[in-house]
């Protein structure tokens, strides 16, 4: 039986993946409080059920940055996806293409930009981490531009990776000692399906977009060591001018969680913002994305599109975010787990189910067009 819910996919991914990879996807920073808040605050929102309205024709399509999309959903950037399934980023991009939605490739994906872009018939988005070497960054952005990437998603909430204790316990973070390597190899050997299909048949296992930097051969521990050494913690708003000179298309800031920061983003002239706390993987005890979304939407108005991620696991979650003013939602774990569980087929099934969930929720709230979603769709004590 094909899995139906987020939890179904998560359980299958847990059985299929070595623990070190499952915990990388599943875990958050420190005590994982913010990761839990993302989910719990979405669950606390209630939708307003309406009846006897003509909902025979429901429109899910909309547009983002000049691109028509089939529903207000984006497959957001997920690191190391090519380790969850064979050439995983390519498989996920195919699923997104079939659903008529954007796929955003992570800077730290296994498959390089050119491979994913050449195998997709619609332009992909590219997610950027700012590294210390500006010459290398200029080359990377040129590759993304020349490969036809349409939108640059600039992640701004990672001046340094947070402590993620689950990754420490699993051995992903720490010295690449002989003992750690042996433990990782033993764990991989206990998952023969993954070992054959992904580890053996899915090579090469490099960080495709940064392999040209001489970091092509790595263990998972070496990957994190490379990240820590190369992320640039000195980046400020002034550096956006440099990014703009390298990138002629839309620039979207991902990781904004404060009204003062979104004011600055509007002043600088970015093209969009993703309200995000990095899936609870950075500042633990930060507010959930959904809880700050209404304030940010109120501040921005119609000046630029506001997207959101963090805890989005179902079509109902998407509708709640749209009701609070988001133009679209980015998915992370929601597509990473299906990819790990069954590759492109399961990501496609998840997106088909998500589409149906969005459609049904809109019908039952009396809304016939995602573009007309608003706070009138949310229930409160006064409306019952």
Q: What is the DSSP string of 160-196?
A: SPPP-HHHHHHTSSS---HHHHHHHHHHHHT-HHHII
pLDDT-above-90 percentage for the chain: 82
Q: What is the mean pLDDT of residues 373-380?
A: 95
Q: Which residue, among 227, 231, 273, has the nearest Cα to 250 in the 3D structure?
A: 273
Residues marked as catalytic: 278
Residue 227 in contact with residue 255, Cβ under 8 Å? Answer: no
Query: Which pLDDT tens digit goes with each residue over 108-124?
Result: 999 999 999 999 999 99
Q: What is the mean pLDDT of residues 227-242?
A: 91
Q: How far is CA 161 from the centre of its chain?
A: 16
Q: How confident is the model at residue 88 (pLDDT cuts 50, 70, 90)?
A: very high
- Specify the pairing of strand 67-69 against strand 73-75: unpaired
Q: What is the mean pLDDT of residues 88-111?
A: 97
Q: Which residue, among 318, 309, 305, has the nearest Cα to 351 in the 3D structure?
A: 318
- Return d(Cα 131, Cα 336) in angstroms, integer: 25
Residue 210 in contact with residue 107, Cβ under 8 Å? Answer: yes
Question: CB within 8 A of 44, min separation 6: which ones?
Answer: none
Q: How confident is the model at residue 167 (pLDDT cuts 50, 70, 90)?
A: confident
Model confidence at 3: pLDDT above 90: no
Q: How confident is the model at residue 383 (pLDDT cuts 50, 70, 90)?
A: very low
Show the CA angle centred on residue 351, arms to residues 80 and 115, nearest 5°. 40
Q: Which residue, among 272, 240, 245, has the nearest Cα to 256 in the 3D structure?
A: 272
Query: Which pLDDT tens digit goes with each residue over 278-305?
Result: 999 999 999 999 999 999 999 998 899 9
Checking 60-64 for CB contacts under 8 A at 24+ apart, the result is 60/355, 60/358, 60/359, 60/362, 60/370, 61/100, 61/370, 62/327, 62/328, 62/370, 62/371, 64/102, 64/151, 64/272, 64/305, 64/307, 64/327, 64/328
pLDDT at 101: 98
Model confidence at 198: pLDDT above 80: yes
Model confidence at 212: pLDDT above 60: no
3-state secondary structure of 272: strand
Complete domains list, the chain, with CATH: 6-383 (3.20.20.70)
Mean pLDDT, the chain, whole residue set:
93
Rg (CA), the chain: 20
Model confidence at 382: pLDDT above 50: no
Show the CA angle centred on residue 7, arms to residues 33 and 290, nearest 5°. 45
- Return d(Cα 164, Cα 115) in angstroms, integer: 31
pLDDT at 219: 64
Model confidence at 105: pLDDT above 70: yes
In DSSP notation, 363-382 reads: HHHT--BGGG--GGGB--GG
Whole-model pTM above 0.75?
A: yes
3-state secondary structure of 48: coil
Q: Which residue, among 34, 13, 38, has the nearest Cα to 24 in the 3D structure?
A: 13
Q: What is the mean pLDDT of residues 19-42?
A: 96
Between 203 and 125, the higher pLDDT residue: 125
Tell me whether residue 315 is exposed, middle or buried, using C-beta atoms within 10 angstroms of its C-beta: 0 to 12, 13 to 18, 19 or more: buried
């Amino acid at each position: 039986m094909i899995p139906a819910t987020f939890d179904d996919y998560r359980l299958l991914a847990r059985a299929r993946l070595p623990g070190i990879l499952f915990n990388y996807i599943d875990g958050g920073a420190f005590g994982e409080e913010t990761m839990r808040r993302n989910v719990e605050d979405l669950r606390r929102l209630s939708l307003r059920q309406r009846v006897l309205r003509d909902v025979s024709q429901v429109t899910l399509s909309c547009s983002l940055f000049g691109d028509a999309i089939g529903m207000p959903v984006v497959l957001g950037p997920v690191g190391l996806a090519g380790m969850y399934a064979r050439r995983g980023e390519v498989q996920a991009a195919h699923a997104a293409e079939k659903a008529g939605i954007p796929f955003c490739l992570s800077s730290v994906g296994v498959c390089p930009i050119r491979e994913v872009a050449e195998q997709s018939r619609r332009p992909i988005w590219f997610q950027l981490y700012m590294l210390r070497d500006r010459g290398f960054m200029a080359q990377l952005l040129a590759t993304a531009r020349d490969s036809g990437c349409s939108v640059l998603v600039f992640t701004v909430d990672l001046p340094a990776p947070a402590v993620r204790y689950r990754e420490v316990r699993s051995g992903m973070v720490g010295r690449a000692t002989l003992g750690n390597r042996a433990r990782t190899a033993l764990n991989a050997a206990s998952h023969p399906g993954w070992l054959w299909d992904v580890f053996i048949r899915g090579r090469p296992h490099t960080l495709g977009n940064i392999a040209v930097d001489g970091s092509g051969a790595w263990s998972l521990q070496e990957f994190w060591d490379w990240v820590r050494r190369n992320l640039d913690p000195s980046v400020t708003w002034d550096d956006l001018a440099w990014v703009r000179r390298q990138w002629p298309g839309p620039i979207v800031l991902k990781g904004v969680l404060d009204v003062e920061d979104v004011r600055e983003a509007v002043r600088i002239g970015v093209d969009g913002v993703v309200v995000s706390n990095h899936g609870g993987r950075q500042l633990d005890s930060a507010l959930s994305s959904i809880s700050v979304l209404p304030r940010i939407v109120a501040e921005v108005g119609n000046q630029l599109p506001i997207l959101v991620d963090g805890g989005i696991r179902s079509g109902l979650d998407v509708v709640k975010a749209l009701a609070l003013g988001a133009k679209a939602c980015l998915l992370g774990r929601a597509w990473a787990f299906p990819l790990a569980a069954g590759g492109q087929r399961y990501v496609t099934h998840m997106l088909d189910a998500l589409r149906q969930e969005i459609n049904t929720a809109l019908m039952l709230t009396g809304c016939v067009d995602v573009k007309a979603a608003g706070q009138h769709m949310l229930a409160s004590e006064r409306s019952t």
